[in-house]
Amino acid sequence: MRPNLFRTRITELLGIRHPILAGGLGPKVSDARYVAAIVNAGGMGFIVGAGFPDAGEFRDQLRRCRELTDGKAFGVNLYISRQSGGVDRVMRQVDILLEEGVSCVETAGASPEPIVKLLRDAGVKVLHKVPAVRYAQNAARLGVDGVIIVGNDCGGHPGIYGIGSIVQAAHAARVLDIPFAIGGGIGTGSQIAAVLAMGADAVVMGTRLLVAEELWIHRDVKAMVVAGDGTESVVVKKSLRDHHRVYRNASAEAVLALDDAKVTDFEQYRPHVMGALAHQAYVSGDTRTGMLDYGPAAVFADKVEPAEAILDRLVDEAVAAAGRLSTLEARDARA
Ligand X SMILES: Cc1cc2nc3c(=O)[nH]c(=O)nc-3n(C[C@H](O)[C@H](O)[C@H](O)COP(=O)(O)O)c2cc1C
**Rule CB under 6 A: is residue 23 a binding residue for ligand X?**
yes
**Residue in the shown chain whose Cβ atom is closest to ligand X:** 206
Closest CB 252 distance from ligand X, rounded Å: 14
Binding residue for ligand X, selected from 29, 169, 311, 322, defined by CB under 6 A: 29
Instruction: Report the relative pairing of strands 233-236 and 244-247 from DSSP bridges.
Output: antiparallel
- Rounded alpha-carbon distances, angstroms, from residue 104 to 40, 128, 247: 16, 11, 30
Mapped onto helix, strand or coil, the DSSP state of residue 91 is helix
Residue 110 or 263 with smaller CB distance to ligand X: 110
**Rule CB under 6 A: is residue 150 a binding residue for ligand X?**
yes
Q: Which residues from 152-191 bind ligand X, rule CB under 6 A?
A: 153-156, 183-186
Binding residue for ligand X, selected from 66, 125, 128, 129, defined by CB under 6 A: 129
| Distance in angstroms (rounded) separating the CA atoms of residues 198 and 176 | 13
**Rule CB under 6 A: is residue 126 a binding residue for ligand X?**
no
- Rounded alpha-carbon distances, angstroms, from residue 286 to 10, 17, 249, 278, 301: 38, 36, 10, 10, 19
Closest CB 137 distance from ligand X, rounded Å: 19
Residue 42 or 109 with smaller CB distance to ligand X: 109
Residue 42 or 159 with smaller CB distance to ligand X: 159
The runs of H, that is alpha helices, within the chain are: 9-14, 32-40, 55-68, 86-99, 113-121, 133-142, 165-175, 189-197, 219-227, 250-260, 266-273, 275-284, 307-327, 331-334
**Rule CB under 6 A: is residue 26 a binding residue for ligand X?**
yes
Closest CB 126 distance from ligand X, rounded Å: 14
Q: What letter would DSSP give residue 296?
A: G
Mapped onto helix, strand or coil, the DSSP state of residue 46 is strand
Closest CB 25 distance from ligand X, rounded Å: 4
Binding residue for ligand X, selected from 8, 18, 20, 24, defined by CB under 6 A: 24
Closest CB 140 distance from ligand X, rounded Å: 19
Closest CB 246 distance from ligand X, rounded Å: 9
Kindly state the helix (H) or strand (E) to which residue 180 belongs, with its residue range: strand 180-183
Residue 106 phi/psi, 5-degree rounding, is -100, 110
Number of residues binding to ligand X, judged by CB under 6 A:
28
Cis peptide before 306 (omega within 30 of 0): no
Q: What is the DSSP string of 228-287?
A: --STTEEEE-GGGT--EEEE-SHHHHHHHHHHHTT---HHHHHHHH-HHHHHHHHHH--T
Closest CB 327 distance from ligand X, rounded Å: 29
Residue 293 or 312 with smaller CB distance to ligand X: 293
Residue burial 81-117, b: 16+ Cβ < 10 Å; e: rest: eeeeeebebbeebbebbeeeebbbbbbbbebbbbbbe
Q: Are 74 and 30 in contact (CB under 8 A)?
A: no
Closest CB 67 distance from ligand X, rounded Å: 23
The pattern of x and - marking residues 74 through 113 that bind ligand X according to CB under 6 A reads ---x-x----------------------------x-----
Closest CB 242 distance from ligand X, rounded Å: 14
**Rule CB under 6 A: is residue 297 a binding residue for ligand X?**
yes
Residue 132 or 297 with smaller CB distance to ligand X: 297
Q: Which residues from 203-242 bind ligand X, rule CB under 6 A?
A: 204-208
Residue numbers of the site for ligand X (CB under 6 A)? 23-26, 29, 48, 77, 79, 108, 129, 150, 153-156, 183-186, 204-208, 293-295, 297
